[in-house]
A and B are shown apart, each in its own frame.
Chain A
Amino acid sequence: MTEEQKTVAKSPGSNRWVGQSVARKEEARLLRGQGKFVDDYRLQGTLHVKFVRSAYAHARIASIDVEQARNAPGVAVVLTGAEVAKLVQPFIEIGPDPGGKILDYPMAVDKVHFQGEPVAAVVAESIEAAEDAAELARVDYESLPAVVDAEEALTDGSVLHPSSGTNLVWQGEFEYGDVDGAFSKAAHVIEIDRLHFHRFSSTPLENNVVIAQWDASDNQIYFWCNNSFPAFAIQFLSPALGVGIDQIHFQSHDIGGSFGIKITNYPYMAVCALASRACGGRPVKWVETRTEHMTASAHGNERTFRDTRVALDGDGVITAIESRHIDDCGAYPRYEPLGCIIWAQVLPGAYRVQNMRIHFSQAVTNKCPVGPNRGYSRMQHLWFLERVIDICGHRLGIPADEMRLRNYIKSSEMPYTTPNGCVYDSGDYAAMQRIAKDLIGWDEWQSKIAEARRQGRLIGIGIGTTLDSGTNNFGQSQIINPRAPYSGQSEGANVKLDIYGEIVVSIGSVPQGQGHETTAAQVVADVLNVHPDMVKVRPGFDTDRNVHTGHSGTYASQFAVTGLSAVHGAAAKLKSELSRLASFALGANEDDLEFGVGTQGPEVKDNKSGKSINYWGLANLVNVNNAGLPPDLDVTLNCRYVYRAPFKVPDIQRKYGNLTLTYAAQLHIAVIEIDRETYIPKILGYVAVDDCGRVVNPAIVRGQVFGATAHGIGAALYEDCRYDEAGNLLASTFSDYIPITALNMPRIRYGHLESPSPFSYNGAKGMGEGGAAPVHTVCAALQDALWSSGVIVKDSHNTADSVFRALSTLGLDRGQGLGARD
Chain B
Amino acid sequence: MPERSDGVSISVTVNGRRHQAEIEARLLLVDFIRENLNLTGTHIGCDTSFCGACTVLLNGSSVKSCTVLAVHAAGGEVTTVEGLAKDGELHPIQQAFKDHYALQCGYCTPGLLMSTCHLLARNPNPTEKDIRKAIAGNCCRCTGYQNIYDAIADAAARVSAARAAGTHGGRAAASAEAR
Contact = CB atoms under 8 A, between A and B. Distances in A.
Interface of A: 21, 23-24, 26-27, 29-35, 37, 39-40, 42, 72-73, 128, 132-133, 135-136, 202-207, 254-257, 259, 287, 289-291, 512-515, 699-700, 702-703, 706-711, 733-735, 739, 741-743, 745, 747-748
B132 A257 contact: no
Contacts of B99: 23
B51 to A, nearest CB: 6
A18 B140 CA distance: 28
Contact of A700 (B80, B101, B109, B135): B101
A206 B145 contact: no
Contacts of B53: 205
A288 to B, nearest CB: 10
A40 B30 CA distance: 13
B138 to A, nearest CB: 7
Contacts of B40: 33, 37, 39-40
Chain B CB within 10 A, most for which of A512, A733, A734: A734
B24 to A, nearest CB: 7
B85 interface: yes
B170 interface: no
Contacts of A206: 43, 45, 105, 107
Given A24-B101, A513-B142, A700-B101, A741 B136 contact: yes
Residue among B45, B113, B147 with max Cβ neighbours from chain A (10 Å): B45
A760 to B, nearest CB: 23
A205 B133 contact: no
B65 interface: no
Given A33-B42, A257-B142, A742-B148, A290 B1 contact: no
B148 A703 contact: no
A734 B48 contact: yes
A135 B1 contact: yes
Contacts of A24: 98, 101
Contacts of A291: 47
Contact of B1 (A30, A132, A711): A132
Contact of A34 (B41, B139, B144, B145): B41
Given A37-B43, A136-B1, A709 B50 contact: no
A733 B48 contact: yes
A204 B44 CA distance: 12
Given A31-B113, A254-B105, A703-B143, A289 B45 contact: no
A37 B107 contact: yes
A514 B101 CA distance: 11
B107 A35 contact: yes
* 8 A-B pairs closest in CB distance: A33-B41, A30-B106, A256-B107, A513-B105, A513-B104, A710-B144, A706-B144, A33-B81
20 contacts: A24-B101, A30-B109, A31-B94, A31-B98, A33-B42, A33-B81, A42-B38, A132-B1, A135-B1, A205-B51, A205-B142, A206-B105, A256-B43, A256-B108, A257-B141, A513-B142, A703-B144, A710-B145, A742-B149, A745-B144
Contacts of A735: 48, 50
A202 B141 CA distance: 7
A707 B104 contact: yes
Given A205-B51, A259-B141, A291-B47, A515 B1 contact: no
A734 B51 contact: yes
A523 to B, nearest CB: 19
Nearest to A704: B104
Interface in B120-179: 131-133, 135-149
A588 B173 CA distance: 59
Given A23-B98, A255-B105, A700-B101, A72 B110 contact: no
B2 interface: yes
A735 B51 CA distance: 9
Given A31-B94, A32-B94, A733 B50 contact: yes
B101 A699 contact: yes
Contacts of B106: 26-27, 29-31, 35, 254, 256, 513
A642 B41 CA distance: 35
B39 interface: yes
Interface in B42-82: 42-48, 50-51, 53, 80-82
Nearest to B128: A747
Interface of B: 1-2, 4, 24, 26, 34, 38-48, 50-51, 53, 80-82, 84-85, 90, 94, 97-99, 101, 103-110, 113, 131-133, 135-149
Tell which of A40, A206, A742 has the most Cβ of chain B within 10 Å.
Answer: A742
Nearest to B101: A699
A205 B140 contact: yes
B119 to A, nearest CB: 12
B141 A204 contact: yes
Most A Cβ at <10 Å: residue of B2, B39, B143: B143
B1 A703 contact: no
Contact of A739 (B42, B81, B132, B139): B139
A254 B109 CA distance: 13
Nearest to B104: A513
A31 B90 CA distance: 8
A26 B105 CA distance: 9
Contact of B103 (A31, A136, A202): A31
Given A33-B80, A135-B2, A741-B136, A703 B104 contact: yes
A254 B41 CA distance: 12
A671 B90 CA distance: 40
Q: Which of A132, A257, A702 has the most CB of B within 10 A?
A: A257
Nearest to A27: B98
Given A37-B107, A290-B48, A739 B141 contact: yes
A207 B45 contact: yes
Contacts of A203: 141
A204 B101 CA distance: 19
A255 B104 CA distance: 10
B142 A30 contact: no
A743 B136 CA distance: 6
Given A27-B97, A34-B82, 20 more contacts: A21-B101, A23-B99, A24-B98, A24-B101, A26-B106, A27-B103, A30-B103, A31-B90, A135-B2, A206-B105, A257-B141, A291-B47, A703-B144, A703-B147, A706-B143, A710-B145, A734-B139, A742-B131, A745-B144, A747-B146
A710 B1 CA distance: 43
Given A24-B101, A136-B1, A707-B143, A128 B107 contact: no
A569 to B, nearest CB: 26
Nearest to B3: A132
